[in-house]
Amino acid sequence: MLNIFGKKQGGGDGFEGPGAFGPYQLEELINTGGMAHLWLGTNPEGQTVAVRLLLADLKHDSLSRKRFVAGCEILQRVHDHACIIHYVEHGILQGQHFLVMEYLEGLNLKQAMVDETMDLGGLIGNILIDSAEALEHVHDTGFMHMDFKPENILISRNGNVRLLDFDLSMPRPESPAKLKKSAGTPAYMAPEQLLGEPVDHRADIFAYGVMAFEVLTGQKPFVGHSSTDILKRQVKRGSEFKTPRSLNPEIPLPLEKIILKSLECDPLKRYAHISLLVHELKQCLYV
């Protein structure tokens, strides 16, 4: 069985399985993240599912609990799309917050980029278009993902793409709004996020640009030991900044232009809506 969400870790907090969890049978712990355990399980009909359980240590942490539940509720709203992980149900069982999702065998994109057995080259078009269309659907449904990165994109070996993890997602504002607390992964966060300025869906477009740059070149466009270092590189873009084609000359010029427009420091210079990016992307890739 492929470990699709990272290294397997031991049991620990909360459910001590494998075993019955309500109507589900939990078979194998396949990952433990910062907020939850992820189990491989089966439903009453014997179908394979993924079951996510909030860590017991976080059960009384109101912020973590609210994020977990909000992520479940947003996934329930946006999952009706081929490139978003399918929602089954969420709630509380045996005193634990849980989410049941579709199980798709594969690797997350971060793992796939370093897995020598994964023919990623032949899947690049699928990954770029399908993940952009997933974000487009999230935005059109009235939400922002706010944690778009390779770890949250699942890739099967035949090229199926699923966008995951809506714990940090939030309603899309009509105009840029200041966040109460900015959370995410600094390397994929837009400058306005790192500065604590008002944000909107264009922060996701910036994150998409970082992901596309990384998957095509093997490098992140802006690196640093801290969010401050990353922000400086985003804003200054001196001689240290390398364009995608300088790192990978096989990238078509129109595709490089899409990535660089997505990575504009000023959100007003990015795509106003990701549907425009999707349209140009399909033209560029002859889809």
pLDDT at 8 over 60: no
pLDDT at residue 14 in the model: 53
pLDDT at residue 261 in the model: 98
Residue 14 lies in a domain: no
Q: Kindly state whether residues 91 and 33 are assigned to the same domain.
A: yes
Question: Structural domain of residue 278, as residue ranges?
Answer: 107-284
Q: Kindly state whether residues 61 and 116 are assigned to the same domain.
A: no
Residue at which a domain ends, from 63, 80, 102 = 102
* Mean pLDDT to the nearest integer, 114-128: 89
Q: Kindly state whether residues 96 and 111 are assigned to the same domain.
A: no
Residue 11 lies in a domain: no
The β-bridge partners of 102 are 49
pLDDT at 166 over 90: yes
pTM of this prediction? 0.91
Q: Kindly state whether residues 217 and 239 are assigned to the same domain.
A: yes
Annotate 216-282 with three-state secondary structure. Answer: HHCCCCCCCCCHHHHHHHHHHCCCCCCCHHHHCCCCCHHHHHHHHHHCCCCHHHCCCCHHHHHHHHH
Q: Kindly state whether residues 171 and 68 are assigned to the same domain.
A: no
Residue 204 lies in a domain: yes
Q: pLDDT for 141-156, tens place per residue?
A: 999 999 999 999 999 9
pLDDT at 9 over 50: no
Q: Kindly state whether residues 56 and 179 are assigned to the same domain.
A: no
Say which residue, 219 or 116, is predicted with more confidence: 219
Residue at which a domain ends, from 85, 102, 119 = 102
Tokens of 46: 């014997």
How many domains is the chain built from?
Answer: 2
Annotate 147-166 with three-state secondary structure. Answer: CCCHHHEEECCCCCEEECCC
pLDDT at 287 over 60: yes
Q: pLDDT for 58-99, tens place per residue?
A: 888 899 999 999 999 999 999 999 999 999 999 999 889 999
Residue at which a domain ends, from 83, 102, 121 = 102
Q: Kindly state whether residues 162 and 92 are assigned to the same domain.
A: no
Domain containing residue 39: CATH number: 3.30.200.20
- pLDDT, averaged across the chain: 91
Q: Kindly state whether residues 97 and 186 are assigned to the same domain.
A: no
Measured CA to CA, the distance from residue 251 to residue 245 in angstroms comes to 6
Task: List C-alpha distances in Å: 12 to 30, 167, 202, 224.
Answer: 13, 22, 39, 33
pLDDT at 10 over 50: no
Residue 10 lies in a domain: no
pLDDT at residue 122 in the model: 87
Q: pLDDT for 11-60, tens place per residue?
A: 344 556 689 999 999 999 988 888 899 999 999 999 999 999 999 888 88
Tokens of 69: 């539940």
